[in-house]
A and B are shown apart, each in its own frame.
Chain A
Amino acid sequence: MGHELAYLSLALYAASFVCYAWILYAPQLWIGRFATVLLAGGIVAQYFALLERSHWTHSVPYDDLYGSMSLFAWLLGVTYLGLELFHRQRSVGAFVTLVLVAWTALITLIVPQAASTPPPARGLLFALHVTLNTWAYAAFALSFVLSVIYLVQDWVLRSRKMSVAFWRFPALDVLDGMARSSVYVGLGALSMGVVMGLIWEHRLSGSYSWADPKVVVTLAILVVYAAYLRLSRSTKWRGARASVLCASNFLIVLFSYTFVNLYLTRFHRYL
């Protein structure tokens, strides 16, 4: 059943991508609404797929790469849907759902779905720690996409090469607002996630692993995104420079999510 739900969510994300892309070229309100409904449908289907997996692991499915990546995709979808409804803006949906489709396709079709043995239970605090951190990564990924679109839009405005889609893209101000909202979500989730992790570790061992590379990089992520929020309202950085900073910050997130998790840390390995 989990497989079917995973495929269903992939199909719904793909359909929502088609509708979002459609409205960039031929805007129709009902197609836009339909795109949102399809995305919401994909999120619901993926939620039940995750739920089924969590019944087996007796926790949030974070312990293997497949579970962690699925959770990331789901939280990316949830965060985008929240921002879309909050900012009343669908024109970046095509780009976000494209990432979502590619990511979900990768994990659904390539990554092995079954772990050999159920992971050990680590309690609610740990589950919250991982979920909140994954949510932060998803929100930062979204801010990366929005910042890249901002930079493209800014380039088009300055180069005067206006394509059809240019007139449908959100304004620079809207993209900036959405990227900032996304970073606020990410920073909030990451801060809470780090605190949960520290409490959990202290309860377990009575100490904190400040020297662990994952902890160091995570604290660096908090600092660079906080700097982005501060600088994006300053005279010299406001606008395109802040978007470059936001997009660059995501490289550190990627580094943390992949290289640090797989090779450097002792506590945060998924394989």
Chain B
Amino acid sequence: MRPSRIQVALIGCNHRTAPVEFRERVAFTPEQALHAADELRRQGILEEAVVLSTCNRSELYGVASEVQPNITDAMELFLTSFHRIPRGELNGRLYRWMGPDAVRHLFRVAAGLDSMLLGEAEILGQLKTAYGQALDHGATGPVLNKVFQSALEVGKRVRSETEVGARPMSVAFAGVKLAERVFGNLKGRTALVLGAGTVAEQVVEHLRNRGIGGVRVVNRSYERAQELARRVDGEAVSWESLDRVLSAPDILVTSVGGAGPVLARESLEAALAARGGKPVFVVDLGVPRNVAPEAAGLYNLYLYNIDDLGEIVEQNKKAREAEIPRAEAIVNEHIAKFESWRATLEAGSIVDDLRDHLHQHREMLLREKLAEMPDVSPEERARIAHITEELIERVLDQPAKRLRHGGAIRGRLGAIEALRHLFGLDEEKAGLEGEEKLGREEEEGN
């Protein structure tokens, strides 16, 4: 059945509105998310539902079968009962959005504009998974399919057409991206990790994701080197062999504790000479620094310490923030597209409702009037019926075209609302549905 009124509703909380203790309590596992979507539909609260739950947000998206002004109240009640949370504890932690505002929120989430780390890419994958599972489960319908597919497109466009998600925002990732500025593709390159710090491990993970050829780990404690080497699928090398292996890697990541530099300018100079002057990219994550600062002047050695990388991350953060207006413009463009789609769908729906309405009156009128004319033959009755049918189609033709294609979206939606009100279509429908429900109850009672 074509939905006559389309209103997307949303309730949820995120890292801005609720602390982690609360977010933990309203989080959904993938199974719970599907179960909740089923329940929302089974209880008649929503006709379509998607639950999005990540570490930073829990959100229920839905479409009701008919416009209900208090739909978000019903969704909130469901959420609290599902997680067994007293309503008083919500205390302004939930946000509620309806219509274009709910769609805007989803598009901004997909674009990474609502994320803790502006422009982060992970949310798009999480959104895709949540929607994909709901779709496979049959919990979505035409409206949420349209909204979520548009959201995924917004996410992709924002990341490809703006700088919101382009620049590295973590020290580890910044180091790897800078190495790519020197070497290009990192496939087949080699890395040496000195020390076994957490950030160094993150750098190696990023390098692995980019297909780096080989990783060697050197640590004062050989056991710890072996441990890290196992985790990053690398090779552990003893501390004593450091000078021997120093000339091999293209990328050197250092994260060694203790006082004073571990790598002197002379050792690195010798390593560079041994590798025929090929560039070496050094990420020094140690505090105090592991690489002698004078090494930065070595030809074909690119040295970045933790402060350099931190400064780059800060620059990138500002650059990402400067891109927000461009990302918002993409969001607005897609909201306008969705509203246009909604207007077209609603226009089709109201024309159908109006046609049904007019045909009911036509049939009643024909019954009344033809009863007063016994002399009219069956052929003439059929002809009169046909003419009145054609009259309705002709009368509806022009308004249908104008509603589907004419004017601005706001105007079209306004005209649709006016027509509903003018012909009392909602009341009529509500009356019919009430009668149907009563009939079903009577049948069940029998």
Residue of B nearest to A29 (CB): B160
User: Would you call B312 and A170 a contact (CB within 8 A)?
Assistant: no
User: Would you call A160 and B311 a contact (CB within 8 A)?
Assistant: yes
**Chain A positions within 8 Å of B163 at CB level:** 26, 164
Residue of A nearest to B303 (CB): A158
The answer for the CA separation of A246 and B315 in the assembled complex, in Å, is: 33
Identify which of A167, A169, A239 gathers the most chain B CB atoms within 10 Å of its CB: A167
**Chain B positions within 8 Å of A237 at CB level:** 277
**Chain A positions within 8 Å of B278 at CB level:** 238
Q: How many residues of A contact B (CB 8 A)?
A: 27
B residues 161-203 in Cβ contact with A at 8 Å: 161-163, 166-167, 177-178, 180-185
Is A166 among interface residues, defined by CB-CB distance under 8 A? yes
Is B302 among interface residues, defined by CB-CB distance under 8 A? yes
A-B contact count (CB 8 A): 68
Is A172 among interface residues, defined by CB-CB distance under 8 A? yes
Is B85 among interface residues, defined by CB-CB distance under 8 A? no
Is B276 among interface residues, defined by CB-CB distance under 8 A? yes
The answer for the CA separation of A120 and B315 in the assembled complex, in Å, is: 63
The answer for the CA separation of A29 and B315 in the assembled complex, in Å, is: 26
Given contacts A236-B277, A239-B279, contact A164 B300 (CB under 8 A): no
The answer for the CA separation of A153 and B299 in the assembled complex, in Å, is: 15
The answer for the CA separation of A110 and B300 in the assembled complex, in Å, is: 44
Given contacts A157-B181, A171-B180, contact A162 B161 (CB under 8 A): no
Given contacts A166-B181, A174-B184, contact A239 B299 (CB under 8 A): yes
> B182's contact among A27, A166, A173, by CB below 8 Å, is which?
A173
> B302's contact among A28, A29, A158, A241, by CB below 8 Å, is which?
A158
Distance to closest chain B CB from A254 (angstroms): 28
Distance to closest chain A CB from B175 (angstroms): 13
User: Would you call A235 and B182 a contact (CB within 8 A)?
Assistant: no
User: Would you call A28 and B160 a contact (CB within 8 A)?
Assistant: yes
Per-residue interface assignment for chain B, residues 386 to 415, with 1 indicating a CB less than 8 Å from any chain A CB and 0 otherwise: 000000000000000000000000000000
Distance to closest chain A CB from B347 (angstroms): 33
Is A54 among interface residues, defined by CB-CB distance under 8 A? no
Is B426 among interface residues, defined by CB-CB distance under 8 A? no
Per-residue interface assignment for chain B, residues 295 to 322, with 1 indicating a CB less than 8 Å from any chain A CB and 0 otherwise: 0000110101000100110010001000
User: Would you call A172 and B315 a contact (CB within 8 A)?
Assistant: no
B residues 225-278 in Cβ contact with A at 8 Å: 272-273, 276-278
> B279's contact among A28, A153, A169, A172, by CB below 8 Å, is which?
A172
The answer for the CA separation of A26 and B326 in the assembled complex, in Å, is: 10
Residue of A nearest to B308 (CB): A160
The answer for the CA separation of A26 and B323 in the assembled complex, in Å, is: 11
Residue of B nearest to A163 (CB): B319
Given contacts A160-B311, A162-B315, contact A171 B273 (CB under 8 A): no
The answer for the CA separation of A70 and B166 in the assembled complex, in Å, is: 40
User: Would you call A234 and B319 a contact (CB within 8 A)?
Assistant: no
The answer for the CA separation of A235 and B308 in the assembled complex, in Å, is: 27
User: Would you call A157 and B161 a contact (CB within 8 A)?
Assistant: no
**Chain A positions within 8 Å of B184 at CB level:** 170-174
Distance to closest chain B CB from A154 (angstroms): 9
User: Would you call B177 and A167 a contact (CB within 8 A)?
Assistant: yes
The answer for the CA separation of A169 and B326 in the assembled complex, in Å, is: 22
**Chain A positions within 8 Å of B277 at CB level:** 234-239
Distance to closest chain B CB from A236 (angstroms): 6
**Chain A positions within 8 Å of B178 at CB level:** 157
Distance to closest chain A CB from B174 (angstroms): 10
Residue of B nearest to A236 (CB): B277
Distance to closest chain B CB from A21 (angstroms): 15
The answer for the CA separation of A170 and B312 in the assembled complex, in Å, is: 19
**Chain B positions within 8 Å of A169 at CB level:** 181
Per-residue interface assignment for chain B, residues 212 to 233, with 1 indicating a CB less than 8 Å from any chain A CB and 0 otherwise: 0000000000000000000000
The answer for the CA separation of A66 and B28 in the assembled complex, in Å, is: 73
Residue of B nearest to A87 (CB): B184
Distance to closest chain B CB from A29 (angstroms): 8
Known: A170-B184, A172-B279, A173-B279. 4 other contacts (CB 8 A): A28-B161, A171-B182, A236-B299, A238-B277
Interface residues of B (CB under 8 A from A): 160-163, 166-167, 177-178, 180-185, 272-273, 276-279, 299-300, 302, 304, 308, 311-312, 315, 319, 326
Could you name 23 residue pairs across A and B whose Cβ atoms are closer than 8 Å?
A: A29-B160, A157-B182, A157-B302, A160-B304, A160-B308, A160-B311, A162-B315, A164-B319, A167-B181, A171-B180, A171-B181, A171-B182, A171-B183, A172-B182, A173-B279, A235-B272, A235-B277, A236-B299, A238-B277, A238-B278, A238-B279, A239-B299, A239-B300
Interface residues of A (CB under 8 A from B): 26-29, 153, 157-158, 160, 162, 164, 166-167, 169-174, 233-241
Closest 9 CB pairs of A and B: A171-B184, A235-B277, A238-B277, A174-B184, A173-B184, A239-B300, A26-B161, A172-B182, A173-B183
